């Protein structure tokens, strides 16, 4: 049996189970984005986007870097996420 951390992998699928989080991941496949950029692309409030990004961070899908007052997010494993998103299409 392969050495898979099922608990960790199930968190990924759970996090991707929301349309906004899927859209965020698909956006981040194309490169790092700051919260404001994601907010404008998805036409959602800043608190809503931040909540979804926290969920994705908990699932170990995204991480961020701080640039002054800006938080810019990126995918931790972009190839893996691209494969998952493409599998849904």
CATH number at residue 17: 1.10.10.10
- Across the beta sheet with 62-67, the strand order is 33-34, 70-75, 62-67
Range of 27's domain? 6-88
Name the average pLDDT for the chain.
93
pTM: 0.90
**What is the arithmetic mean of pLDDT over 19-43?**
96
Question: Could you report how far apart the first and last alpha carbons of the chain are, in Å?
Answer: 29
Q: Is the pLDDT of residue 64 over 70?
A: yes
Domain count, the chain: 1
Q: Is residue 70 part of a domain?
A: yes
Q: Is residue 75 part of a domain?
A: yes
Q: Is residue 1 part of a domain?
A: no
Q: What does DSSP assign to residue 31? A: -
pLDDT of 72: 97
Q: Is residue 71 part of a domain?
A: yes
pLDDT of 4: 81
**What is the arithmetic mean of pLDDT over 51-71?**
95
Q: Is residue 26 part of a domain?
A: yes
pLDDT of 7: 87
pLDDT of 1: 56
Task: Residue 62: name the closest of 16, 17, 19, 18 by CA.
Answer: 16
Q: Is residue 30 part of a domain?
A: yes
Q: Is the pLDDT of residue 38 over 90?
A: yes
Question: Do residues 42 and 28 make contact, with C-beta atoms less than 8 angstroms apart?
Answer: no
């Amino acid at each position: 049996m392969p050495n898979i951390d099922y608990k960790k992998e199930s968190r990924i699928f759970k996090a991707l189970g929301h349309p906004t989080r899927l859209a965020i991941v698909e956006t981040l496949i194309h490169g790092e984005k700051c919260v404001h950029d994601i907010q404008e692309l998805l036409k959602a409030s800043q608190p809503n986007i931040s909540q979804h990004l926290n969920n994705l961070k908990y699932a170990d899908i995204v991480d961020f870097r701080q640039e002054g007052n800006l938080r810019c997010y990126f995918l931790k494993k972009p190839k893996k996420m691209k494969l998952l998103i493409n599998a849904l299409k």
